[in-house]
């Protein structure tokens, strides 16, 4: 049995980092197969290097029932082809679990999709509180010119299923068109 003691961690609202949290990083090489233009991804890696796409700063808590896990995510600005930098995206392993996102800095969109294909996009910026209902897969996308950061909290027993999205992707891609974010059909689906 986990016997947690109360604690507090400081969120830096300028950088999006949580001081004292576990850090996970995702670079372009970690995102292979998630962008529609895989040739553009490989070209960037070979000419510019394996750039950072996003970082997750997670409070160190057990992933068990009764806990509420939380983190911040910071997505760097950038594109692969015409797709914006994004997170890998996931469903919860326990599909009936929800999640809350709160925008800290920058601008982006939260893409949500049911496994049956229904898709929604929620614009996010500082102060936006977005609700991810049970059964919805979700990924976040930086549509701005500066880092996009947000806070997330979810039930400790929710788990993560990245495989379902990695296999076929979302039904729509969020791409830059004339300098604006636009949803288009995913050619892989």
Residue 125: is its pLDDT beyond 80?
yes
Mean pLDDT of 83-99: 97
45-70 pLDDT per residue, tens: 999 999 999 999 999 999 999 999 99
Rounded to an integer, what distance in angstroms lies between the CA atom of residue 147 and that of residue 108? 9
Write out the DSSP string of the chain.
Answer: ----------B-TTT--BTT-EEEEEEGGGGTTTSS-HHHHHHHHHHH-S-EEEEEEE------TT-EEEEEEEEPS-EETTEEPB---BB-SSTT--EEEEEEES-EEEEEEETTS-EEEEEE-TT-EEEE-TTEEEEEEE-SSS-EEEEEEEETT---B-HHHHHH--SEEEEEETTEEEEEE-TT-
Q: What residue segments make up the domains of the chain, in order of their start?
A: 22-185
Give me the pLDDT at residue 188, please: 79
What's the average model confidence in pLDDT over 95-121? 97
Which pLDDT belongs to residue 187?
87
> What's the whole-number average pLDDT of the chain?
95
- The Cα–Cα gap between 165 and 138 comes to 9
Give 128-177 pLDDT, tens digit per residue.
Answer: 999 999 999 999 999 999 999 999 999 999 999 999 888 878 999 999 99
pLDDT for residue 111 is more than 90: yes
pLDDT, position 56: 98
pLDDT at 1: 45
Judge whether residue 3 has pLDDT over 70. no
Distance of alpha carbon 167 from alpha carbon 34, whole angstroms: 9
- The Cβ of residue 168 has, within 10 Å, a number of other Cβ atoms equal to 10
Q: Look at residue 37 and tell me whether its pLDDT is greater than 90.
A: yes
Confidence of residue 2 (pLDDT cuts 50, 70, 90): low
Of the pLDDT bands very low, low, confident and very high (cuts 50, 70, 90), residue 23 is: very high
The rounded distance, in Å, linking the Cα atoms of 85 and 35 is 9
Rounded CA-CA distance 128/64 in Å is 28
The CATH number for 22-185, chosen from 3.40.50.300, 3.40.50.10190, 3.30.410.40, 2.60.120.10, is 2.60.120.10
């Amino acid at each position: 049995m986990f016997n947690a003691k109360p604690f507090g961690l400081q969120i830096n609202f300028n950088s999006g980092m949580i001081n004292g949290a576990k850090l996970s990083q995702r670079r372009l090489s970690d995102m292979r197969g998630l962008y529609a233009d895989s040739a553009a991804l490989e070209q960037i890696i070979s000419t510019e290097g394996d750039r950072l796409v996003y970082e997750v700063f997670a409070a160190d808590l057990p992933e068990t029932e009764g806990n509420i896990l939380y983190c911040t995510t910071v997505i760097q600005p950038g594109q692969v082809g015409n797709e914006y930098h994004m997170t890998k995206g996931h469903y919860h392993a326990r599909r009936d679990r929800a999640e809350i996102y709160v925008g800290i800095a920058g601008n982006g969109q939260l893409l949500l999709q049911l496994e049956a294909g229904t898709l929604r996009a929620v614009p996010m910026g500082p102060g936006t509180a977005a609700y991810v209902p049970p059964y919805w897969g979700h990924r976040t996308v930086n549509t701005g010119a500066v880092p996009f950061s947000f806070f997330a909290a979810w039930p400790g027993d929710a788990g993560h299923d990245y495989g379902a999205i990695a296999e076929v992707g979302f039904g729509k891609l969020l791409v830059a068109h004339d300098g604006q974010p636009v949803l288009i059909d995913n050619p892989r689906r």
